[in-house]
Structure formats: structure tokens, C-alpha cells
Structure 1
Amino acid sequence: MDRSIDYGNLMHRAMRSLIQNVLNDVAANGLPGEHHFFITFDTMHPDVEIADWLSDRYPGEMTVVMQHWFDNLNVTDEGFAVTLNFGDSPEPLYIPYDSIKTFVDPSVEFGLRFESQDDDEDDLEDTDLDLPDDVDLLPVTQASSADRATDSDAPKTKADVVSLDSFRKT
């Protein structure tokens, strides 16, 4: 039997759909409370649209923050367009969901990491996202119960990140 269920790709699509739903809500209603996003994407993806000076400065990947100031958020089935402020210079961006490497909302310690089959599973420690000190990216499959706060009132210090490669058939 040659047919099998590709759980890895199904999970990727589901998680990208989650990002789309979150961004649709933000486009309609704004960011609630303290929510904000760190979105890392592949600047070399063929459908990414960013200013030349940004692609020159970030030739492999770039992390953007959607928090206090963003404008023109337009969410589609393939990706989203947004205008962000870079040193008092508004720049329009188009980021396809397929180019997203990480999506983190540190206000609620939520994060997703999309890995291609070419990525090394051990390179999580090398990810340079300039996140706040209290947010670490950890694949859920590697996070122990000691890494999570046990008291619901205790401050949490780790963000759980779903690593989809553990579900992918190699």
C-alpha cells in the first residue's frame, strides 16, 4: 500500500490556519490586551514582498513584531500584508504563511515553530529572535514537566512551541 496519511503536512496546514484565524481577528478587532506577535519568516521565499533594503539587511530570515504600531493588515488564504514601522519609516510587507518559521505571542507564552525536513532538530538553541528574557522556544516533545509552572498562579517562564517534525515521516 503506497498511500499514507501525511500528518506532518496536515499539522503544518492546521497551524498556519490558526495563524490566519488569529490575524483575521486582529484585523477586525485589533490586538486585545497585552497580546503581541514575534513572527520570523524566510526572506528568500519567492512570494515574500519586502523592501530591497530589508532583504539586503536580512538575507535569510527576519523577525518582525506586531505590537504597538501596525497598519493596513490584510489577511488572505495564502498570507498577510501589513505595514510596519522601521525606524520611523513605514514599510509594507507581504508574508506568505509558507514562509513563516516561528509565530510567538509572549504575552500568553504561546509559540509555533515550523521546521522543514532540511532543518536540524537541534538548532532550537541557535534561533536568534531577540525575544524577552522570560520566553524560550522549546519543542513540546522536549519540554519536561519541570520546565512548566505547576501552580496556575505562579509566573510562567517558558513558552511551549509545537515542533511538527516529530510527527513527520522521514
Structure 2
Amino acid sequence: MAQDPPVQDLMNYEAMAQDALRGVAKAALKRAAAPEGLPGSHHFYITFKTDAAGVSGPNDLLSKYPDEMTIVLQHQYWDLAPGETFFSVTLQFGGQPKRLSVPYAAITRFYDPSVQFLLQFEAPPSAPPEARIAPVEEPAAKAAPPAAKSPATVVSLDQFRKK
């Protein structure tokens, strides 16, 4: 008895599911960008591939994290602008405000520890160096974000990884 060959998924359902779940992260960022900001104790850990197509930010920052970076949106973020295909945000690194733009397709993890909500995505392919977007330097005269309530901290996500 001959077996039928495996059926090929010509619809690419896995990619469609990944895009739909990234829509959850986009909707959460849109709520966070609203005038009332993040509700309650919600906050986000967003991990993304720094070498993915469309990621932009200061060269010194992106070169420090050549593969992957995790940012925290809780108390110290400004100018959050979620668009249709990417979001931009200003964060402080070493006391200096730096603007990042991240395509939703570059996100590999979206975590809200206040409710233990985690989305994990397949990593996008790395973009060739010539396809990466050059960062736009902000003028030095631009006002710095208001003083933060507490100093920024770097967080290791090892405690959240499944073992």
C-alpha cells in the first residue's frame, strides 16, 4: 500500500499566525501610546533582532547588541509611536535619550510580566548590511526627556526562559 506524499501548506498558515500574534503586540503598544498610558501595573519587555531589516537606532547602541536586544516599556519611555508596520520609542541608555524604530516583524518576544503574558515569535532573517536603515541622528538642541523617577536597569531574561 503506497502512502500519499505529505501535503504542502501552500497557504503558509504558520506565517499568517505569526503575523496575527504580532498584531496583539501592536494593539498593546497602541494602548500604551494613548494619553492615559499603560493601565495599572502593565509593562512590556520587548525582544527584537537588531540585525533585522528596518531596525534603526544609534550605531553605538545597535553595535553593542549586534544580534538581539530587549527593551522595557514601563516608566522611562517617551514618544511611543506605534505605526502600521513598526513602532518607534525614545528610551534612556546610560543617561542619554536614544530613539529606536523596530518593525513588528523583528520582534521575537513580547512579555507583560504583570499578568504573565508571553508571545514568542520565529526570528526573522537577518538583513544584509546594505539593506539596514541608517539611524537618523536627532539634533543636539532637542530637549532631553524629563528626569526619571528611578535609574534604568538592564534586565536579564534568563529567568523567564523555559528550561
TM-score, length of structure 2 as denominator length: 0.70
Query: Which of 44, 54, 57 is residue 50 of structure 1 equivalent to?
Result: 57
Please give the secondary structure, in 1, of the residue aligned with 2:80. strand
Q: Note if contact 2:47-2:68 (Cα within 8 Å) is conserved in structure 1.
A: yes
State the shift of 1:106 in Å.
Answer: 0.7
Q: Note if contact 1:111-1:137 (Cα within 8 Å) is conserved in structure 2.
A: no
State the shift of 1:116 in Å.
Answer: 4.1
Please give the secondary structure, in 1, of the residue aligned with 2:157. coil
What is the CA–CA distance in structure 2 between the aligned matches of 1:66 and 1:2, rounded to whole Å? 40
The reply to whether residue 22 of structure 1 matches residue 28 of structure 2 is: yes
Superposition CA RMSD, Å? 2.3
What is the CA–CA distance in structure 2 between the aligned matches of 1:132 and 1:59, rounded to whole Å? 18
Q: Deviations over 1:60-90 (max 9, x none)?
A: 1111111111111111110100001112111
Please give the secondary structure, in 2, of the residue aligned with 1:18. helix
What is the CA–CA distance in structure 2 between the aligned matches of 1:2 and 1:56, rounded to whole Å? 39
Aligned to 2:80: 73
Aligned to 2:144: none
Letter of the structure 1 residue corresponding to residue 39 of structure 2? P
State the shift of 1:5 in Å.
Answer: 3.1
Sort the Cα spacing of 1:84 and 1:4 in 2 relative to 1 into closer, same or farther, 3 A.
same
Please give the secondary structure, in 2, of the residue aligned with 1:5. coil
State the shift of 1:97 in Å.
Answer: 0.4
Letter of the structure 2 residue corresponding to residue 9 of structure 1? A
Percent of counterpart pairs with the same letter? Answer: 39
Q: Deviations over 1:133-167 (max 9, x none)?
A: 4xx334xxx9xxxxxxxxxxxxxxxxxxxxxxxxx
Aligned to 1:7: 13
The reply to whether residue 31 of structure 1 matches residue 38 of structure 2 is: yes
State the shift of 1:46 in Å.
Answer: 2.2
What is the CA–CA distance in structure 2 between the aligned matches of 1:26 and 1:5, rounded to whole Å? 33
Q: Note if contact 1:27-1:73 (Cα within 8 Å) is conserved in structure 2.
A: yes
Q: Which runs of 5+ in 2 are unaligned?
A: 1-6, 126-154
Aligned to 1:64: 71
State the shift of 1:2 in Å.
Answer: 6.8
Please give the secondary structure, in 2, of the residue aligned with 1:38. strand
Aligned to 1:158: none
State the shift of 1:131 in Å.
Answer: 3.3
Please give the secondary structure, in 2, of the residue aligned with 1:11. helix
State the shift of 1:6 in Å.
Answer: 2.1
Q: Note if contact 2:107-2:123 (Cα within 8 Å) is conserved in structure 1.
A: no
Q: How does 1:115-154 map to 2 (within 5 A)?
A: 115-116=122-123, 130-131=156-157, 133=159, 136-138=160-162
Q: Larger C-alpha radius of gyration, 1 or 2?
A: 2
What is the CA–CA distance in structure 1 between the aligned matches of 2:43 and 2:89, rounded to whole Å? 14
What is the CA–CA distance in structure 2 between the aligned matches of 1:61 and 1:39, rounded to whole Å? 10
Q: Which runs of 5+ in 1 are unaligned?
A: 119-128, 143-170
Aligned to 1:122: none
Letter of the structure 2 residue corresponding to residue 137 of structure 1? R
